[in-house]
Amino acid sequence: MGFFKDFKEDASQAMKELMPQDDEVLDEEGTDEDDLVVNTLEDELDVESELSKLNGLLESVAKEETPVKEPAPETTQEKTTKAVTNKEEPFMSMEKETSVNPINLGGKAESVMPTMTQMHTQQEAPMRKPEPVVTDEVTLITEGSSLTGNLSSNGSIDMRGTVIGDVQCNGKLTVTGNIRGNTTSAEFFADNAKLEGEVTTTGTVKIGLGSVVVGNITATSAVIAGAIKGDIDVQGPVVVDTSAVVMGNIKSRSVQINNGAVIEGFCSQCYADVDVESLFVEE
């Protein structure tokens, strides 16, 4: 600012010198002779050239004093947009690399994504069935009682009466009465009972003396002392007692027939560990 002040004073002094004045000018307030303005220029000056020079000086000074404009600060929205753009670019590049580049496993290039065959195999994989709930409760059907319809229980059943229908239990099924229907249980025991239907158990089946079963039997092991009219399919051993009468085929891992037992059918140890056919291969 001091430079402009000095320049302004010099300009006003030059203008005063250019204006015509009398040889003697007195100050209205009675100033001394030292304050008089005297024109010391003998030759007349070119006013237009002097003004053009002044204008040139003013323009140059204005350019030097003009401050440099700083860039406007970014708004919050611009910063957010810029940050989101910078974040999205690396993720996009990673997705492209993942989808294109394979993984080298054992010298073979395999795709990251599972094949259609693998997906189809996973969908067709059999689902494991939940294990049945077994309780300690025992359902008792007393003698002289008669039940028509299906019967099921999470525990055991003691059948002493008569049931016309299917019987299912997750525990042990003990029958000393009569059943007309199929039975399913974890273990089966018949004593002086009469059954008309198939007997299926995941454990042991015991047909006691005086019991009569008309139907097929499926179990993991069996002890037969009564009369059976039907096929016996057992994954484990079968014991045919002296009082047993079997009219049907027996499939088992091993079979024990006591003296006096009657079997009218075909016995096969198809579940045995011995490969019978390999013993008779011709060389």
pLDDT, mean over the chain: 75
Closest CA to 258 of 276, 249, 245, 277: 245
- CA separation for the pair 267, 124 (Å, rounded): 38
Question: In this predicted model, what pLDDT tens digit does every residue of 6-63 receive, in sequence order?
Answer: 666 666 666 666 555 544 444 444 444 444 444 544 455 565 666 666 666 666 656 6
Q: How far is CA 281 from the centre of its chain?
A: 54
Residue 152 has pLDDT above 70, yes or no: yes
Share of the chain above pLDDT 90, in %: 47
Q: Place 83 in a pLDDT band, splitting at 50, 70 and 90.
A: low
The mean pLDDT value for 88-104 works out to 46
Largest CA distance in the chain: 173
- The pTM assigned to this predicted structure is 0.54
Section 176-202 average pLDDT:
96
**Residue 133: Cβ-neighbour burial (10 angstroms; 0-12, 13-18, 19+):** exposed
Q: Is 197 left (phi over 0), alpha (psi -120 to 50) or beta?
A: left
What tens digit of pLDDT does each residue of 212-271 get? 999 999 999 999 999 999 999 999 999 999 999 999 999 999 999 999 999 999 999 999
Phi-psi region of 149 (alpha: psi -120 to 50; beta: other; left: phi over 0): left
Contacts of residue 130, Cβ cutoff 8 Å, sequence gap at least 6: none
Average pLDDT over residues 117-125: 56
pLDDT, position 273 = 87
What confidence score (pLDDT) does residue 22 get? 47
Q: Are strands 178-180 and 194-196 parallel, antiparallel or unpaired?
A: parallel
**Structure confidence at residue 276 as a pLDDT band (50, 70, 90):** confident
pLDDT exceeds cutoff 50 at 203 = yes
Residue 274 Cα to chain centre, angstroms:
47
Domain borders along the chain are: 1-20+45-64, 138-268
